[in-house]
């Protein structure tokens, strides 16, 4: 231990890795808070601004390497690049993302005094909010797992996101870790009290679940989520019929209530729109739609992921879109949404003029980049009204998931989490739950291999299909809550909370003088 303490950058690296254990699937919130508190002490004790930056950067490298370890799994499906490259890619991503906690550490160090007092902690929290928000927006943004997401299993604390949003909640998490600093440095009795508080935080997720025993009327609209458990490796060019049959088998039968049947992203390979050149189709789009409609009742609708194409003529594909299509019981298309926030290296290759000569390519098979849609939009579905759509990665962007001029009663989030290994799916689900809390809207998730779920407007899980399990769930459509404060104000709340924390820190310092 003494050897480790002699190398504060190495200790910061290890503390960053431990702090990542606060996220799903481990959900060790107490360990994360202690690790962050220990890192804050190291930053405060740094002998120079440069040393503080180094300790901040090392923490970020450890934190994001562990946090994004699922990133490697995407390379297992890419023939153009060896899978081992995925390990280097995960570390390379962490080397970039570590810049943001480094900046927060540098700002906080500039505000330190002889002991790590309240102003130091408050400035640290404000700086974390600012840098975490920048991480979510710079260079198209990488908003995966803001720190506030660790509270999703602890419902009373996660509920604060409905007021202030995830980024501001991340700042309060830093402040909570900072509040442990006096206890860490004091007597054994206080350490015992600290341990009791941390145990309570760890036990809280087990106590926060309350099953819903109410029974809605039989004609209440229902949601049926289908998860075929077909991995990325099982969806080749010749597997389209087998995949479609698996989806149809689990789509159930019509009942007395209208149903919205939802299928995942990335499983229907057949084109669903008419009017493409004949050479595009293996079989007519109308035939595929009629087969899909065969499992629908007269008031049922189905939403599925698919690909939309546009052409320069009869020979050349001009563009492709990652889309969601709505199909009615007659086999007619009644709506389409195009994904707006595309994944770099997954759905398009940034800087192709530089990266292609280096032998790099997209992780998704194919040479055609997707083009983005116009942003958060609703589909208006007969019998169900407006539904907001967020495809896969789009759901992680706090404050950017709802059409502000036309708030829908719920969101549909089809995803292809088969790329994400074992850690990615539960982390993706946790972030979707945070969006439900922020917006006060139910969210329906459908993925090929899990974790598919129906999420209530307060973030609770109404129904789930476990990871790597074939199945379906059918439940009444959960009710939306009244618009939350965050849904009205958006990420201005992050700026407000950060400014308030900084102002309080300044006020405390001036009063002491």
Cite the active site residues: 265, 339, 392
HSE-up of 341 (CA within 13 Å, CB side)?
A: 23
Calpha distance 231→229 (Å, rounded): 6
Calpha distance 494→502 (Å, rounded): 12
Residues with Cβ within 8 Å of 327's Cβ and at least 6 positions away in sequence, in order, are 272, 289, 292, 293, 296, 301, 302, 303, 304, 333, 334
HSE-up of 26 (CA within 13 Å, CB side)?
A: 14
Calpha distance 27→345 (Å, rounded): 29
Residues with Cβ within 8 Å of 400's Cβ and at least 6 positions away in sequence, in order, are 341, 376, 394
**What is the crossing angle of helices 240-249 and 285-293, to 10°?**
20
Residues with Cβ within 8 Å of 372's Cβ and at least 6 positions away in sequence, in order, are 338, 339, 340, 341, 342
> Can you tell me which residue has the tokens 């790099």?
360
DSSP string across 460-493: -EEEEE-TT--EEEEEEPPPPPSPPHHHHHTTHH
Helices (H), 180-250: 181-184, 188-207, 240-249
Calpha distance 509→210 (Å, rounded): 44
Residues with Cβ within 8 Å of 60's Cβ and at least 6 positions away in sequence, in order, are 16, 94, 97, 98, 99, 100, 101, 102
Structure tokens at 165: 């949003």
The alpha carbon of residue 187 and the mean position of all alpha carbons in its chain are separated, in whole angstroms, by 40
DSSP string across 62-121: HHHHHHTGGGGGGGGG-TTS-TTHHHHHHHHHHHHHTHHHHHHHHHHHHT--SS--HHHH
Residues with Cβ within 8 Å of 512's Cβ and at least 6 positions away in sequence, in order, are none
Calpha distance 295→297 (Å, rounded): 7
Question: Is there a contact between 132 and 167 (Cβ–Cβ < 8 Å)?
Answer: yes
Lateral strand order in the sheet of 222-227 = 333-338, 317-328, 301-311, 259-262, 222-227, 471-476
Given phi > 0 = left and psi -120 to 50 = alpha, else beta, which region is 139?
left
């Amino acid at each position: 231990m003494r050897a480790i303490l002699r190398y504060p950058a190495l200790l910061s690296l290890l503390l960053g890795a431990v702090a990542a254990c606060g996220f799903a699937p481990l959900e060790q919130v107490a360990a994360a808070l202690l690790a962050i508190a220990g890192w804050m002490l190291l930053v405060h004790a740094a002998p120079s601004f440069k040393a503080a930056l180094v300790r901040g950067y090392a923490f970020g490298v450890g934190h994001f390497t562990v946090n994004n370890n699922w990133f490697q799994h995407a390379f297992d499906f890419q023939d153009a690049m060896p899978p081992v490259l995925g390990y280097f890619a995960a570390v390379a991503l962490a080397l970039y993302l570590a810049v943001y906690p480094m900046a927060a550490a540098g700002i906080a160090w500039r505000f330190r005094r002889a002991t790590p007092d309240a102003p130091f902690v408050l400035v640290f929290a404000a700086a974390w909010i600012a840098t975490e928000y920048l991480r979510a927006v710079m260079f198209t943004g990488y908003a995966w797992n803001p720190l506030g997401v660790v509270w999703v299993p602890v419902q009373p604390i996660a509920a604060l996101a409905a007021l202030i949003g995830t980024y501001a909640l991340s700042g309060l998490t830093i402040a909570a870790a900072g509040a442990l600093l006096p206890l860490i440095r004091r007597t054994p009795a206080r350490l015992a009290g600290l341990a009791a508080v941390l145990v309570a935080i760890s036990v809280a997720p087990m106590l926060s679940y309350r099953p819903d025993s109410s029974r809605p009327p039989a004609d209440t609209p229902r949601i049926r989520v289908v998860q075929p458990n077909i991995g990325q490796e099982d969806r080749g060019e010749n597997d389209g019929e087998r995949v479609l049959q698996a989806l149809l088998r689990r789509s159930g039968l019509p009942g007395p209530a209208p149903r919205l049947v939802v299928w995942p992203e990335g499983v229907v390979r057949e084109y669903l729109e008419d009017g493409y050149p004949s050479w595009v189709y293996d079989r007519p789009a109308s035939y595929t739609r009629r087969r899909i409609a065969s499992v629908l009742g007269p008031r049922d609708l189905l939403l599925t992921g698919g690909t939309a194409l546009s052409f320069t003529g009869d020979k050349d594909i001009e563009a492709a879109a990652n889309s969601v299509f709505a199909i009615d019981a007659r086999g007619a298309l009644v709506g389409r949404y195009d994904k707006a926030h595309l994944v770099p290296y997954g759905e398009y290759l940034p800087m192709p003029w530089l990266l292609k000569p280096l032998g790099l390519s997209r992780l998704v098979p194919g040479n055609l980049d997707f083009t983005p849609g116009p942003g958060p939009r609703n589909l208006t579905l007969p019998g169900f009204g407006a539904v907001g759509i967020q495809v896969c990665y789009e759901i992680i962007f706090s404050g950017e998931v709802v059409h502000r001029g036309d708030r829908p009663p719920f969101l549909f989030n089809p995803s292809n989490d088969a790329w994400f290994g074992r850690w990615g799916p539960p982390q993706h689900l946790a972030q979707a739950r945070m969006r439900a809390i922020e917006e006060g809207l139910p969210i329906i998730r459908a993925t090929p291999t899990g974790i598919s779920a129906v999420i209530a407007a307060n973030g609770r899980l109404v129904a789930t299909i476990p990871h790597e399990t074939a199945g379906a769930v059918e439940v009444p459509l959960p009710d939306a809550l009244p618009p939350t404060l965050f849904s009205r104000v958006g990420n201005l709340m992050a700026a407000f909370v950060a400014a308030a924390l900084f102002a309080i820190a300044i006020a405390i310092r001036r009063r002491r003088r």
